[in-house]
Amino acid sequence: MGYNIAIDGPAGAGKSTIAKMVAKKLNFIYVDTGAMYRAIALYLLRDGVDTANEAAVSEAVKNADITIRYQDGAQQVILNGEDVSGLIRTEEVGNTASASVYPAVRAHLLELQRSLAASQNVIMDGRDIGTCILPDAQAKIYLTASSRVRALRRYKELTEKGTMCNLEEIEQDIIERDHRDMTREIAPLKQAEDAVLLDSSEMTIDQVVQAIIDTAKAHGLKEEA
């Protein structure tokens, strides 16, 4: 088995930015599970499936084949043969993903996620990695930040891309997504009992990266020779 680092936390906590940096420093593979849910959400949006209709979503997901490919170290998500990595990075797709996490959708992705972690060193991020997907991960991190700080980060990201947006609306969206992710019946977002809590509100990116590497070392990760 590889060495597995699981990172869970709410939307906008910086999981993917941080996990990518940790992966680079440790020479691990970064697995972004949210991207898989987003690819399914894109399929549902294109197919016009109502996400409130669990039966329809469960049926539709059978036709969404998701695979992962790595190019120059970056993860690409392939939906029925099409690289959708760029298309899934919208608020609409993120919200649709959050609204369509039914048991059939999770089951559809479980094997892919576990198999990626089984044979190699990975840092995997999501909502239920430490609690459900990789319960035996050697290091588990619960990464969070206040909703205001997360909204400000997203606001900055969007305005830098030239997207018009409103800070209050973004924060409201984050609060709603937190609520949905944390209160859902199936595999809700919560800190695993053996996870280390990191609140990044007042931390720099480098401090968070270092804290995760230190946690992994404290949990048996050997330094590269």
Q: Which residues 39-78 are close enough to bind ligand DC by CB under 6 A?
A: none
103: left (phi over 0), alpha (psi -120 to 50) or beta: alpha
Contact flag: residue 14 with ligand DC (CB under 6 A): no
Contact flag: residue 11 with ligand DC (CB under 6 A): yes
Instruction: Dig out the tokens for 95 from the structure.
Output: 């919200």
Residues in the chain: 225
For ligand DC, the closer CB: 128 or 171:
128
Contact flag: residue 30 with ligand DC (CB under 6 A): no
Instruction: Dig out the tokens for 122 from the structure.
Output: 């990975």
For ligand DC, the closer CB: 109 or 221:
109
Q: What's the CA angle centered on 41, arms 39 and 43, to 5 degrees?
A: 75
Q: Which residues 93-152 are close enough to bind ligand DC by CB under 6 A?
A: 94, 97-98, 101, 126-129
From 21-29, 58-66, 90-98, 155-163, span contacting ligand DC (CB under 6 A) = 90-98
CA distances in angstroms from 107 to 28, 141, 219, listed in the order given = 25, 23, 29
Directed axis angle between helix 205-218 and helix 15-26, to 10°? 60
For ligand DC, the closer CB: 50 or 214:
50
Q: How many Cβ atoms are within 10 Å of 24's Cβ, its own excluded? A: 13
From 34-42, 114-122, 150-158, 166-174, span contacting ligand DC (CB under 6 A) = 34-42
d(CA 139, CA 213): 9
Residue 148 contacts residue 10 (beta carbons within 8 Å): no
From 19-27, 33-41, 165-173, 208-216, span contacting ligand DC (CB under 6 A) = 33-41
Which position among 3, 28, 37, 43 is part of the footprint of ligand DC (CB under 6 A)?
Answer: 37
Binding residues vs ligand DC (CB under 6 A): 11, 33-34, 37-38, 94, 97-98, 101, 126-129, 177, 181
